Structure 1
Amino acid sequence: MKKLLNTVYVTTEGVALRKDGENLVAEVEGEERARVPLHMLASLVVFGPIHISPALMAACAGAGIAIALLDRNGRFRARVEGPVTGNVLLRRAQYRVSEAPEPVVRSILVGKVANQRSVLMRALRDHREELEPGDRDAITAVTERLAFILRRVERSDGGLDVLRGAEGEAANLYFSVFDNLLRVPDPDLRWKGRSRRPPLDPINALLSFLYTLLTHDCRSACESVGLDPAVGFLHRDRPGRPSLALDLMEELRPVLTDRLALSLINRRQLRAGDFEKRDGGAVVMSDDARRTVLTAWQERKKEERLHPFLQEKAPLGLVPYLQAQMLARHLRGDLDAYPPWFWK
């Protein structure tokens, strides 16, 4: 089993990152603020204008430490990595399966819809008394409809468009009651529907930020087992898009990111004042809010759950790597099907 390594997130503008021996050193105005051994790192994520020395970039590339460059709002800009690794036979198998991906897509969607339904059922179980009767009825109706879609996906022998249609229907139903899960009185912290590029309200800004972090982890997971992150099954190929990483994160989003977003809002760890509306309507998080989210994200990844296929407990942060391994084993023919990850 792959050892769970750390990701370093750098959010303070003006930080200079350099290599000192076998360590990453962070300095602000020439004063050392942090020092991390390189052998403890899996990746480095920087936000906004951060200086990275050429020596550090070379050391990270040689050690297999990916560097992700995001803008200050968390939008992906670039990725720096060393030589491409992986078994060419595995990638050829991946490309062949991508031409007829329905079995893999079906497994991904079974995991995604089941986990969406689990998030809603957990909310009903844990907060039934706090929910208004209308909210309870709406969430219950959606869980029943998601159960129907789940059975339809499991039994479907239709093509890719049919499966994508089921995925879109499930997503619309799930997000139609997302606002019912928010237990805060602030009218500025309400869900009005999904908006991206740019996010137009605080909840969408928070979700987009968390999705960016999960995409980074899923891409690293794909590359760690030798898969091509650009060639997916559910998501269509597009230049610059890590389609396989987006596929891998679909079944994990409801649990790893959506539930974390709900917790941060419902526990009042984030408030309306932590978000700022820019010209053009885009909503962004403050620097302090980003640090709060990153801390909560790292803590969330430490939580352990039983992997339903492996029957082993593993930290949530390791799940993308485990799922990438399961996918690689399926593509090599070691597993008859790709086993999705179910949250329980």
Structure 2
Amino acid sequence: MKDLLNVLYITTPETYLGKEGECVSVRQDGASPRRIPLTNLQGIICLGRVTVSPYLMAACAEKGVTITYLTENGRFLASVHGEVRGNVLLRREQYRRADDEAGSASIARCVLKGKLGNARTVLRRGAREAQDQVRAERLTRAADIHTAALTRLDRETHVDGLRGVEGDAAAVYWSAFAALIRVDDPAFAFSGRNRRPPRDAVNCLLSFVYTLLAHDLRSALEGVGLDPYVGFLHRDRPGRASLALDLEEELRPILADRIVLSLINRRQVEAAGFLTQDGGAVVMDDDTRKAVITAWQERKAKEIRHPFLDEDAPIGLLPHLQALLLARHLRGDLDLYPPLIWA
């Protein structure tokens, strides 16, 4: 089992990251530097104006620690990583399968079964916890539509048809999402998914946590030797980590969406922590962003029983485990890719 490694998040502007021996040296506001051993890290995420020394970049590249740069609001800018050490035969099989319509459809179908199954779990749980009958019935209807969509996936043999089923189910999911929010506060009203930029507090939270999940998935895929930029459901586009987005679809409902709902429903974030900029974009202040990152890291440390492997594993390892299962499928060890469906 792979050890659960940590991600270092740098959120304070003007922070300088350097290398001291085998440690990352973090210098902020003239205070004494903090030192974090490189061997304890899986990745470094820099939000906003953060400077990284070339010596630290080189050390991270050598040790497989990915450095990711985001804006203050969580929009991906760039990543720095070292030499790709994946199995060339595995990547060649990945590329062949991505170019084959039937092969792509087979993996995309499994990924979408994970997504729709996990979305249904979120909806059903929301129906059980609903504070009134109207919300419960609305969420139950949406969950039933996802059940029917799961059956429709088996009838589709092309990726475009699978995308159509997913699109219909996603529209139902997002139309019911507001019923999952139990806080009666106009600041957390939700009327639909919007992004680039997000225009309300809920979408701001969703986009930010999705970015954190995507970082972990890119690192996991590279760690098992797969190319995160060649996917099966999401087609190639320069600069887009399509395979990471594929697996993100599967894991978003149970990892990202549930964290966002918990943060809001438990009042771990407040309306005052969100600011509306001149162009209409909604952004988090520093304290809110740190609260989200803390909740994300705490969630990753909790353990669940993996339904396919039948082993207990920290939630933070789920991206790695799913990447590993996908690699095993591409190598021919598994007949199908087993998505993580959390019942």
Counting aligned pairs with the same residue, the percent is: 54
SS at match of 2:204: helix
Q: Does 1:123 align with 2:110?
A: no
Q: Does 1:164 align with 2:163?
A: yes
Q: Deviations over 1:222-254 (max 9, x none)?
A: 100110111000011100000000001111000
Q: Distance in 2 between matches of 1:291 and 1:33?
A: 20
What is aligned with 1:71?
71
Q: Deviations over 1:296-342 (max 9, x none)?
A: 00001111111111100111110000000000010011110000001
Q: Contact 2:42 / 2:65 at 8 angstroms: preserved in 1?
A: yes
Q: Contact 1:25 / 1:32 at 8 angstroms: preserved in 2?
A: no
Q: Deviations over 1:183-219 (max 9, x none)?
A: 1111121111111100000000000000000000000
Q: Distance in 2 between matches of 1:26 and 1:342?
A: 39
What is aligned with 1:41?
41
What is aligned with 1:220?
219
Correspondence for 1:107 among 80, 89, 110? 110
Q: Distance in 2 between matches of 1:63 and 1:32?
A: 26
Q: Distance in 2 between matches of 1:38 and 1:79?
A: 17
Q: Distance in 2 between matches of 1:326 and 1:148?
A: 27
- 1:343 positional shift: 1.0
The normalised TM-score by structure 1 is 0.97
SS at match of 2:84: coil
What is aligned with 1:252?
251
Q: Distance in 2 between matches of 1:198 and 1:302?
A: 30
Letter of the structure 1 residue corresponding to residue 144 of structure 2? E
Letter of the structure 1 residue corresponding to residue 292 of structure 2? V
Mapping of residues 71-220 of structure 1, within 5 Å: 71-99=71-99, 100=101, 101-125=104-128, 127-128=129-130, 130=131, 132-153=132-153, 155-220=154-219
- 1:32 positional shift: 2.3
Q: Distance in 2 between matches of 1:50 and 1:143?
A: 43
- 1:28 positional shift: 1.6
- 1:4 positional shift: 1.1
Q: Contact 1:24 / 1:36 at 8 angstroms: preserved in 2?
A: yes
Letter of the structure 2 residue corresponding to residue 161 of structure 1? D
Q: Distance in 2 between matches of 1:255 and 1:286?
A: 25
Q: Contact 1:205 / 1:285 at 8 angstroms: preserved in 2?
A: yes
Q: Contact 2:187 / 2:201 at 8 angstroms: preserved in 1?
A: yes
Q: Contact 1:4 / 1:317 at 8 angstroms: preserved in 2?
A: yes
State the Cα RMSD in Å.
Answer: 0.9
Q: Distance in 2 between matches of 1:94 and 1:321?
A: 17
Long gaps (5+) in structure 1: none
Q: Distance in 2 between matches of 1:87 and 1:142?
A: 42
SS at match of 2:32: strand
Instruction: Name which of structure 1's ranges 265-274 and 133-142 shifts more when overlaid on structure 2.
Output: 133-142
Letter of the structure 2 residue corresponding to residue 243 of structure 1? S
Q: Distance in 2 between matches of 1:326 and 1:35?
A: 35
SS at match of 2:44: strand
Letter of the structure 2 residue corresponding to residue 72 of structure 1? E
What is aligned with 1:271?
270
SS at match of 1:18: strand
The runs of at least 4 consecutive aligned structure 1 residues that moved more than 6 Å come to none
What is aligned with 1:59?
59
Letter of the structure 2 residue corresponding to residue 12 of structure 1? T
Instruction: Name which of structure 1's ranges 20-29 and 59-68 shifts more when overlaid on structure 2.
Output: 20-29
- 1:33 positional shift: 4.5
What is aligned with 1:340?
339
Q: Distance in 2 between matches of 1:296 and 1:134?
A: 30
Q: Distance in 2 between matches of 1:32 and 1:89?
A: 47
- 1:156 positional shift: 1.7
Letter of the structure 1 residue corresponding to residue 126 of structure 2? A
Q: Distance in 2 between matches of 1:296 and 1:33?
A: 25
- 1:30 positional shift: 3.4
Q: Contact 2:127 / 2:135 at 8 angstroms: preserved in 1?
A: no
Q: Distance in 1 between matches of 2:247 and 2:269?
A: 28
Q: Distance in 2 between matches of 1:266 and 1:56?
A: 40
What is aligned with 2:7?
7
Q: Distance in 1 between matches of 2:156 and 2:207?
A: 33
